[in-house]
Amino acid sequence: MPELPEVETVKETLKNFLIGQKIRKVIAPYPNIIKDDLDSFKDKIIGQQFNDILRYGKYLLFQLDDYVLVSHLRMEGKYFIRNSLKELSKHEHVIFELDNGKFLSYHDVRKFGTMELVFKGTEFQLESLSKLGFEANDENADVNIIYEKFRKANRPVKTVLLDQTVITGLGNIYVDETLFLTKIHPQEIASHLSFDEVSNLIKNARTILNKAIALGGTTIRTYQSSLGVDGRFQNELNVHTLVGKPCPVCSTEIIKIKVGGRGTYLCPNCQKRKEL
């Protein structure tokens, strides 16, 4: 599933293809991806030019002339460029025809992704964007504010790290890796962590995310960035997906449990819960 590094990779890849291109036409075989009414979406977006692409958390923000197209890939969304409309897949749900005759196509097997068009400058008033916390790789993030949220949370630390209103950008993969590196059990109650532990979590998350960005993200299951380019961070994973394999630190077998309904990988020796 695309998390911060994957969305960042998609953003950078797409910028090369899209900046300066105008949207000529929209084809939407499955318009439910688009939150607005399709006709008004088309009315507004046709003729608009891609001027830039930004990322906030896991959201892509396509900067147009008068609007911002806010796009979330959720589990399996991907963008790619196609040269013609030949042999469309049944999973291509929204296709933008560009000035240069090429097409930007949104592909999403599970149809979980969303697109929303808003007036430029109003995007951060959206419920979804307005509540997001600090970027998980922001070196200027205020750890005091983050720690306060941990201190008040009687939920497992993994659940809090996945809560995008605390910090934004982490998903299931990078949370497991961050907890492993910090030697914290995913079911530890967030309010039981010390300031230093929270501080280390944030620091380690940043380190992992920046390394993953440098490697083009992680390719597991169905994620690949646009244009068929695979990431390489999957070779760096320590625990995620590695159930039954030896822990790279202590060789104990990695186990898989459920935390907040999510598959969770950890080393039961390196990541122990605190004594109460």
Partner DNA sequence: ATCTATGCCTGGTGGC
Partner DNA sequence: TGCCACCAGGCATAGA
The residues annotated as belonging to the active site are 2-3, 58, 262
Helix (H, G, I), strand (E, B) or coil at 189: strand
Alpha carbons 75 and 82: distance in angstroms, whole number: 22
**Which residues 40-99 are close enough to bind DNA by CB under 7 A?**
57-58, 72, 74-75, 90-91
Closest C-alpha among 33, 102, 104 to residue 74: 33
User: To the nearest whole angstrom, how small is the minimum distance from the Cβ of residue 111 to DNA?
Assistant: 4
Stretch that binds DNA, among 10-18, 110-118, 193-201, 242-250 (CB under 7 A): 110-118
Binding mask 129-168 for DNA (x = CB under 7 A): -----------------------xxxx---x--x-x----
Cβ of residue 108: shortest distance to DNA, in angstroms? 9
Q: What is the dihedral of CA 147, 151, 152, 157, to 10 degrees?
A: 90
* 171 touches DNA by CB under 7 A: yes
83, with CB counted inside 10 A (0-12, 13-18, 19+), is: exposed
Task: Please report how close the Cβ of residue 228 comes to DNA at its closest, in angstroms.
Answer: 16
- Beta strands in 76-159, from DSSP E residues, in sequence order: 78-82, 92-98, 103-107, 114-119, 134-135
Angle, CA 91 vertex, CA 87 and CA 94 arms, to 5°: 90
Judged by CB under 7 A, the stretch of 8-16, 36-44, 107-115, 193-201 that binds DNA is: 107-115
Binding residues for DNA, per CB under 7 A? Answer: 1, 32, 57-58, 72, 74-75, 90-91, 109-112, 127-128, 152-155, 159, 162, 164, 171-172, 258, 260-263
